[in-house]
Structure 1
Amino acid sequence: MASIKFRLRSEANKNVAIKVRIILGRGKQDLELNTGFTINPKDWNTPDKENPKKGDNFPKQNNPENKVLFNNLKKLESFLFKSVNTDLGESVVIDTFWLEAKINDCFKRVVKNDKGLLINHTQYIIDNASTRTIGNNTGLSKETIKSYVSFKKVILEYQLTIKKQIQFIDLTAPFIEKFKIWMLTKKKYAKNTAGRKLQMLKTICIDAEKHEIPVTPYSKIIQHFGESNKDRYIQTLSFTELEQIKNVDLSNAEQLKEFKASNPELTKGISITPEALDNARKWILLGCEIGQRGGDLLKITNENIRYKGTNIYIDIIQQKTNKSVTIGIIAPHVIDIIENHLPKEVPHQKLNDYVKVVCKLAGINETVKGSKLNTATNRKELGTYPKHELITTHCFRRSFATNYYKKIPTAVLIGITGHSKESLFLTYINQREDKDSNADLFMKFYSDLHKDKTPEMKVILNTGTV
C-alpha cells in the first residue's frame, strides 16, 4: 500500500520548497521530489512531536493564498494515489522520473520555452488547432485533434518507460525502431494503430522544422506501415443480408424477452424492445445506403434532407475531413425511412451493441475470420467468430462502398464517401485496382452514349478510276 506525505526540508524564516514523499511496500521504495510549490514554515501545519495527531503536514488555511495551496496539495495527493494504483496494476515502473511526470501531469505543467521537446510542439499544435491551415480549410477537425491528444498520451507513457523527455534531435532510426517495437510488443497495438502513430510523429517533425526547430534528417522520412491486404479482414453486409435485416420480424416482445435471456452477453446493457431494435435496423439500412462514418450518420436530422423536384438529397459536412458531400436517395425503403420514420440518435457504442443483436436475429451468423475487441486487454484479437459479433456502424460505410463497387463509377462513390483518391478507396474496401474494369466501363458508357443515334449514311463518289 502506498503512503503519500508532504513535508518541508528547512525551517528557515523564508519560503522553502514543499516536497512530496511516496513510500511503497513498507519502505521497499521511497521516492521524494519537489512539488514546485513553496511556503513559509510558519504557515505550515507541522505535527507536534509529543502529540502527532496535531498537525497534518499541510498549509494552515489562514489566508486566501494558503487555502489555494492547501487545495492544490490535496489535489496532488488524490491524483498520485489514483496513479499509483492504476500504474502498479499495469506493471509501470514507479520511480522518480514517473513521480516528476505525474506532478507535471496533475497540474498540466509544460515547459513552454523548450521548443525542442516533442511533447511541447505536439501541445502547441493542439493549442492552436483552431487556426491551423490545412489546404483551403482553417482549423483542425475534432477527430484530428483527438488523434493528436491520443498521440501525446502515448509519448508521455513512452517517456516514462525510457526515463527521459524526447527531443526532436533524439528521433534517429534506432530510436524510432525501439519506439515501434515497444508499441507492437509491449503495448500490443495493431499494425494499423502503430503505423498511424508513426505517421503522426513524422507529420509533427515536418511541422516542427517549418517552425525552425532542429530535427534529425531521418525524422522526415519515417516509414509508417499498416496491415497488408492478406492480413486485413473487413466485414460488410451484402444486399442479400440487408434484405434479411429489412424483413426480420422484431415486433414480438415475448420472443425478444426470451432472446435476451438466452443471450446475456450479447444483450448486456441494452434494452431489447421492438422499438429500440427497429430504430437500430433503420440506422443499418440508412447507413448502408449513404456511405458515411458512424459519427456523421448519427447526426442526420431533417435539416440535412433536401428536396429538388421529386428527388431527395442528404447534405452532410463530414466531421473528420470537413468535406461537404451530397447523397442522392433512390432506394424505396430508404425514402420511406427518411420521409416517415427517421431514426432517433443513439450513443455510438450503444448502436454498435444493438446492431449485433439485429444482425443475429436476422440470421447473419456465418462463421468468418476477423478481429474482435477483448474487453479484458482492450485490444482486438484475430480469430473466427459469428459474423454478427463483428458488425459495427463502421461496416455500414464499407458495405455501401463494397456493394456498389464496379456497379457505379468509382469517382461517383468517392464523391459520396469522401475519400481523397481512388487508391485510398480501394484500400478501404480491400480491392486492388482493376484497370480492365475502367476500360469496360468506358466501353459501356460509350455504347450507351451512342446506342440511340441513327447511323449516318455517307455518299462515296464513283470517280470511275480503278
Structure 2
Amino acid sequence: MATVNFRLRSKVNKNVSIKVYLSLERGNVIEVNTGFTVNPKDWSKDTDRPLKNTTENKLIFNNLKKLESFLYNNLNTDLGNNVLIDTFWIQTQINNCFDRVVKTDTGLLINHIQYILDNANTRKVRTNGGVKIGLSKGTIKNYTVFKNIILEYQKTIKKQIQFIEITNTFVDKFTNWLVNTKKYSANTTGRELQILKTVCIDAEKNEIPVTPYSKIIQHFGESDKDRYIQTLSFEELEQIKTSDFTDLEQLNNLKKTNPGLTKNLSLTPETLNNARNWILIGCEIGQRGGDLLRITTENIRYKGGNMYLDIIQQKTNKSVTIGIIAPHVIDIIENDLPKEIPHQKLNNYVKVICKLTGIVEVVKGTKLNTETNRKELGNYPKYELIASHCFRRSFASNYYKKIPTAVLIGITGHSKESLFLTYINKREDKDANADLFMKFYEDLNKDKKPEMKLIKNGTNND
C-alpha cells in the first residue's frame, strides 16, 4: 500500500526544505521538495510534522495535512487509470494543490505561453493596415491547444521544458512525438512547430534567454502532391441549383438508408433549400464559412443598379467588397436570404444535399476518423468530403484564369498570390499571365484607329 510522509534532510540551525516522499512499494520511494521550510528544532520526530508552537508553523502543519490528503485522493484515481507515478507527477500535484503555476520562473516554456494567453486582449498584432490590439479568437484557440500539447509532452518526458533546452535535438524529439505518437498530420505538426518558434521569439523580446536554434525552427506542411482539395465545379453547382427537394419519400428513404449521414438533421424541403442557398451564395462570394453565415441585409448595398456585398473578415479583420452579378444569387439575396444555422449543422446539410444531387463519384481525399480523431487519406464518395470550407475554394478555383488573380485575391482576402495559389493547389503559370496581359492589351486597343505617319525616305530630294 502506498504511503505519503514528510521529512527533513538536514539538522542545521536554520530553515531547511520539507520533503514529501511517496513510498509505492519496497525500494520504490519518490521524494521532492514541498516548497515549505522549517527550522529542524521546530520539527517533531514523532509526527513528522512541524510543532504547532508558532502561527507560521501551525499554517505549515495544516498545509502539509492538506497536501497529504490531496496526494492520496489523486494517487488512487491515477493508479486506477494507469498513470505513471513519478517525481514529475508529485510536483504537479503539489502545484495543483496550492494553485502554484511557478509564474516567477519566466524561463519555463509553459509559463510564457500562459503569459501570452493572459495578455491576449492587449497584445499588438501587425496587419496589412498597420497594427491592431488583441489576438483573434482563432489565434487564442491555437495557443490554448499548443499549451495543452506542451503539458501533455511534459508528462511524457517527465520534466518541465525550459527555453534554454529548446535545441535542435529537442525539436527533433518533439516532432517525432507529434508525428509518430500523436499521429498528427504534416500540417498540424508544422503549425505547432511554428507556434513554438513564435513563442521563443516573443520570449526573447521579453528578455528571456533562449537558444539561437529556437529562433530558426523550421516548420512545414503538406507538399502539393499530398494535398487533396475538394471543390464544386460550375456543373455541380448547376446540379445543386436545379435539384428538387420536395420528394418526401426520397428524403425518408435517405434517413433509413443513411442514418449516420442524416443524424440530428431535419430533412424537410425548407431546411434543405435554406442550406442549398448558403452553398450557392458561398461559392459565388469566396468567403470563409463563419463570414458567410453572418451575412444579413445590412451587408448589401446598391450602386448604379449593381449589387455589392461588404464584409469584414473575422479572421484577418480585412474589409472586402464583392460585386454580386450571378442572377440566381441576386435572386436568393433579394428574395430568399437564408437563415443562419450553426456552422457544423451547415456542414452536415451540405453532405446530404451533395448526395441527393448526385455528387457521389469516388475521389481521393482526407476524412476524419471519429474513433481516432485524426484525418485519414483514402478514397471516398465526394459528398462525404464537401463542407463549407470548400465554398471559398470553389469560388477561387472556378474563376481562376477567367478573372485576373489580383481581383480574386481582393475578394478572398489572401495577402499575396503565392498563398492564393497554394490555397487552390495551383502553381504559377507564367505563360497564362503573359497570355492574359496580351488579351487585356488587345481589348484596350481594339477600338483605337490606326494612325498614318509620313516616313521620310532619307534623301534631300523634295
Match for 1:125 among 113, 116, 125?
A: 116
Alignment partner, residue 386 of structure 1? 381
Alignment partner, residue 240 of structure 2? 245
The number of equivalent residue pairs is 421
Q: Secondary structure at the match of 1:325?
A: strand
Give the 3 Å change call, closer, same or farther, for CA 443–104 of structure 1 in structure 2: farther
Deviations 1:399-427 (A, max 9, x none): 11111111111111111111111111111
The offset of 1:347, in angstroms, is 1.3
Alignment partner, residue 203 of structure 2? 208
Q: Secondary structure at the match of 2:147?
A: helix
Higher mean C-alpha displacement, 433-442 vs 127-136: 127-136
Match for 1:235 among 230, 240, 246?
A: 230
Distance in 1 separating the partners of 2:291 and 2:34:
44
Higher mean C-alpha displacement, 233-242 vs 259-268: 259-268
* Kept after mapping to 2: 8 A contact 1:141/1:322: no
Alignment partner, residue 350 of structure 1? 345
Q: After the TM superposition, which residues 39-438 of structure 1 pair with which residues of structure 2 at under 5 Å, given as runs?
A: 84=78, 88=81, 93-98=84-89, 100-101=91-92, 104=95, 109-135=100-126, 136=130, 137-438=132-433
Distance in 2 separating the partners of 1:156 and 1:83:
19
Matching residue's letter, 1:165: Q
Greater Rg over alpha carbons, structure: 2
The offset of 1:102, in angstroms, is 5.9
- The gaps in structure 2 that reach 5 residues or longer are 8-17, 37-58
Deviations 1:111-157 (A, max 9, x none): 22111111111111111112222222221111111111111111111
Give the 3 Å change call, closer, same or farther, for CA 281–157 of structure 1 in structure 2: same
* Kept after mapping to 1: 8 A contact 2:21/2:29: no
- The gaps in structure 1 that reach 5 residues or longer are 11-16, 38-64
* Kept after mapping to 2: 8 A contact 1:290/1:397: yes
The offset of 1:104, in angstroms, is 4.5
Distance in 1 separating the partners of 2:322 and 2:434:
26
* Kept after mapping to 1: 8 A contact 2:5/2:22: no
* Kept after mapping to 2: 8 A contact 1:323/1:418: yes
* Kept after mapping to 2: 8 A contact 1:172/1:216: yes
Give the 3 Å change call, closer, same or farther, for CA 98–377 of structure 1 in structure 2: farther
Q: Secondary structure at the match of 1:320?
A: coil
Give the 3 Å change call, closer, same or farther, for CA 300–32 of structure 1 in structure 2: farther
* Kept after mapping to 1: 8 A contact 2:197/2:215: yes
Give the 3 Å change call, closer, same or farther, for CA 400–31 of structure 1 in structure 2: farther
* Kept after mapping to 2: 8 A contact 1:260/1:267: yes
Aligned Cα root-mean-square deviation (Å): 3.4
TM-score by length of 1: 0.81
Q: Secondary structure at the match of 2:192?
A: helix
* Kept after mapping to 2: 8 A contact 1:129/1:139: yes
